Amino acid sequence: MIDILSIEDDEIVREHLCEGLNAARFQVFDVENGDQAVRLLQQHSQTWF
């Protein structure tokens, strides 16, 4: 399965994007800003990279 990190501040856009990607069988991690993305990447750096 392919992992995708979605960074979008508009909640409605983020929800629709994640729904579409999940329906296409992607694993989606969604955050609303760059700071959250950096934290998420730091938390998962050992398993994702």
- How much is the pLDDT for 17? 97
Sign of CA dihedral 2, 25, 34, 40: negative
- Exposed/middle/buried for residue 11 (C-beta within 10 Å: 0-12, 13-18, 19+): exposed
pTM of the shown model: 0.81
Tell me, what's the pLDDT at 19?
98
- The pLDDT of residue 47 is 81
H or E stretch including 18? Answer: helix 11-23
Q: Going residue by residue through the chain (49 aa), what tens digit of pLDDT does each one get?
A: 789 999 999 999 999 999 999 999 999 999 999 999 999 999 988 887 7
pLDDT, position 1 = 78
